[in-house]
Amino acid sequence: MNPATALPRPPAPGEAVTPVASAGTPERAPLVSVVIAVTENGVPVRQLVEAYGTPLRDAAYDHEFVFVLDGVSPAVEREVQELRASLPVDWVRLQGSGLGESIALSAGVGRAAGRFILNAPQYLQAEPADVVKVVQALEQGADFVTTWRHPRVDPWFNRLQSRFFNWVLRFVMGIRFHDLNSSLRGMRREVLEEVNVYGELYRFLPVLAQRQGFHVVEVKVRHREERGRKGFFGVGVYTRRLLDILAISFLTRFTQKPLRFFGMLGFASMLVGLALCAMPVWEKLTGEAGFQNRPVVVLGAILVAFGIQLIGFGLVGEIIIFTQAANLRGYKIQESGAAPGDADAAPAGAPARGATPAAPEPAAASAAMPVRVRELVPGEDARFDAFVRQHPLGTFFHLSGWRKVVEDVFHHEPHYLVAEQGRQWRGVLPLFLVRSPFLGRNLVSVPYGVYGGVLADAEPVQQELLAAAEALGRAQRAGYVELRHLEARPGERRRSQLYVTFRKVLPATAEAILQEIPKKARAEVRRARDRFGLTCRPEDDLATLHRLFSANKRRLGSPSLPLAWFEALREEFGRQVVVHVVRTPQGEAIAAVMSFCLGDTVYAYYSGSREDQHKTGVNDFLYHEIMRWALEQGYRRFDFGRSRRDTGAAAFKRNMGFAEEPLHYEYLLLKAGATPPEFHPSNPRLGLPRKVWAHLPLFLTARLGSRLSRYLP
C-alpha cells in the first residue's frame, strides 16, 4: 500500500479485547470505570464527563469514562473522540439501535478497565457529587450498590408511580430496596460475570445480584429534577413492568426448584378438575345419569390434563437443573480457612473484603489460563460485535448480522469461532460451510463479503483459531478454508493475488472531495450535475436498486443476487444500510448504490447503472455524491470496495483518485490436490458461458441468478 494513502487505524494498546487507553488515561488501570449508555443525539457528553469526573478527581479516584453509543449519529461519536484527546474517555458503538440497557451495560463493561463499574444514566438524575458515596461503599466491601433518590423532587405523579412500583416489589418479593428505578449504580466487575441480565430485567439487577449471593447495599443520593422526562409512559409500559415483576419473582424463587412451582400449580389444577368430575363420573358409573349436557365434565378433564402437563414441565426443569448442577453456583464464600503452606492460602496482610474474597485482576487471572477455541453460542452476538468493533481490523462483514442474513437467505451453515482465555476473548473467526456444485464443499470467511478472516490480538491466538478452522474443515470434509483478509496476517499460507481494494480518508470539506478527484473525472461530475441535471439522494427503493444491479450483472456475464438478499440486509442492519439513487430531471432512476456504514467508514458495495446513460457521467457523479453525503453524516473514511486487478472497474476507481491496495486472500488446503477456487470472470474457461449469459433475457437471468448465486459465495 502506498504510504501516502495508508489509512490511520484506531489506537490499539490492548487491541481487540482490552479497552483502548486515551490521552488522559493513566498507564495503570483505573479504579473506577463510569459506563454511560447514550441513546439520544442531544445528550451533553462533555457536561456528563465534567459532572461525574470532578468529584471522582477531587476524591483522588483514578477513573475513566466508557460511552456506549446505541443508535446515535456520528456527530455524537465525534464529540466523544474529541474528548479523548485530553480526558480518559473511550467509547463503543452498538450495531443497530434500541438494543436496551442490558446489552449496553454488558458492552461497556467489556470495554472498561476499572475494578469498580459505575453505571450512570445519560441525564443527571442525582447530584454528581454523590457518586463518591457509591465508590466508597464498594471500597468498604459491598459488591453491588443501588441508589435511593431521596427526597424526590420530580412531579407528584412520577413519585406516585415509583412508590407503587417499589411497593409491589417489596410486597411480592419481600425485598427492602426503595428505588429500583434509579439508574445510578455501582458494582464490582465480577458481578456481571456471574449474573445473567437481559432485556428489561436490567432494572432488577440488584435483586438478581443479591440472589446470586453478592453483598448488595443501598445508598441515599440527592435527587435532581429530571427535565424532559416523561411522566406517563402508556398502558403498554406498565403492563410490561408487571410482567417483569412476575418474571423476576419466578427467577429468584423457583429457578433452582421448578418442580415445586409447577407442581403446586399442577396439583391444584388436578384437584379442582377431579372435584368437578367426581359427581358426574359417579352418576355415570351408577347409571343415574350420563355425560350429556354436562359441560362441567369437559372442564374438569381439561384441568386434570393441564395439571399433568404442568407437573411434567416441573420434572423437565428438575432434570435440566440436575444435569447442569456442576456449572451452577448460587452462593459466595465469605471466609474460609486454609492450612499453612496451602497453595490457595492468602498471603499475610492481604486486605479482607466484607462480603466476598477479593478476586484476582481479570487480566492477571486470564493470563495464567490456556487459550481455548469454541463456537459462538446463542446470546453472545452483542459481545461478538463489540469485539469486532474494537479490533483495528474488524469490518462490516465480520458482524454477527451478516451471519443471520446469509443463513436466512442462502441457508449456509455458520461456524463462528471464538478464542478465549478465561473470561477474556482474544480472537474470533467467522466461517460458513458452503456446498456448491461449482466449487465443492468448503469453509469460507465470509461468503458474499469482500473482507473476512481472523481477528486476533496476538499471533499465537491466530494460530489457535486457524488450527481449529482446519480441524473443523477436515471434520466437515471441506476442500479448503478461504480467509478473505483485508490486510496481511503473520504466517505462511497459500495466497491469491487476484483482487485489490480501494480506500481513502475523506478530506475535511465537500469542496476538497471534488478537488481530490482527478481532472477528467471531476469534469464528468460537473457535467452530470450542471448539464444533465442529475440528482442523487438516499431513498428506500430496493426494487430499483435490484433492477439496475441485475441488469449490470447480466451485462458482465454474472448471476445476480435475489431481491430477498437486499431486503434481509435492510431488515437486519437498519440505518447502517443506505441506498443512493440517481435520477434525471424527469425523475427516471438511472443508477443506484447500496452502502454499508460501520464506525467512521462507509462501504459503497452493491451498484448498478444503465449502460445507455454512461455518457452523462452518472457513475462519477454518483460516487462523488455518496462521499459528500458520508462527510455530511460525520463519516471519515470511504471504502470503494474490491475489484479484480487490471480490469475496467479497477481503472475507474483509480481515475476517481483512489490508490489500489492488495487484498490478502489466503487458503488452508485440506485435501490432496485441492487448489484455490478458479470460478471467477478472469478464468478464460468461463468466457463462453459469460457471453451466453450476457445475451439472455433479463427476466430469465434475474430468476436463474437468484438461484445460482447461492452456490457462488
Query: Domain locations in the chain?
Result: 27-122, 140-254, 258-327, 362-499, 528-635+683-711
Q: Note whether 590 and 583 are within 8 A (CB).
A: yes
Q: Note whether 194 and 423 are within 8 A (CB).
A: no
Q: For residues 324-339, give the mean pLDDT.
A: 44
- Does the pLDDT of residue 5 top 90, yes or no? no
**What CATH superfamily classification does 528-635+683-711 receive?**
Gcn5-related N-acetyltransferase (GNAT) (3.40.630.30)
Q: For residue range 658-711, what is the model confidence (pLDDT) as tens digits?
A: 999 999 999 999 988 888 888 777 777 888 888 888 888 888 888 888 888 898
Q: For residue range 13-29, what is the model confidence (pLDDT) as tens digits?
A: 333 333 333 333 334 67
More confident residue, 676 or 335: 676
- Does the pLDDT of residue 160 top 90, yes or no? no
In the chain, the percentage of residues whose pLDDT exceeds 70 is: 80
Q: Note whether 501 and 641 are within 8 A (CB).
A: yes
3-state DSSP call for residue 616?
Answer: helix
- Does the pLDDT of residue 78 top 90, yes or no? no
Q: For residues 276-292, give the mean pLDDT.
A: 82
| Cell digits of residue 422 | 478465561
- Does the pLDDT of residue 506 top 80, yes or no? yes
Q: Note whether 420 and 701 are within 8 A (CB).
A: no
Cα separations (Å) of 84 from 28, 77, 342?
17, 11, 46
Q: For residues 49-54, give the mean pLDDT.
A: 92
Neighbouring CB atoms inside 10 A of 692's CB total: 10
Q: Note whether 424 and 363 are within 8 A (CB).
A: yes
Of the candidate ranges 138-152, 387-401, 442-456, 614-628, the one whose mean pLDDT is the lowest: 138-152
| Cell digits of residue 150 | 431521596
pLDDT at position 324, please?
A: 53
pLDDT at position 684, please?
A: 79
Nearest to 412 by CA among 712, 676, 675: 712
Topology match between the domains 362-499 and 528-635+683-711: yes
For 27-122, CATH gives 3.90.550.10
Beta-ladder partners of 504 = 638
For 362-499, CATH gives 3.40.630.30
- Mean pLDDT, the chain, rounded, equals 81
Q: For residue range 411-434, what is the model confidence (pLDDT) as tens digits?
A: 999 999 999 988 789 999 999 999
pLDDT at position 678, please?
A: 83
Sign of CA dihedral 7, 12, 18, 21: negative
Quick one: pLDDT band at residue 595, thresholds 50, 70, 90?
A: very high
Q: For residues 227-244, give the mean pLDDT.
A: 54
Q: Note whether 680 and 495 are within 8 A (CB).
A: no
Question: Edge-to-edge strands of the sheet including 185-188?
Answer: 89-93, 63-69, 32-38, 116-120, 185-188, 144-149, 216-221
- Does the pLDDT of residue 647 top 80, yes or no? yes
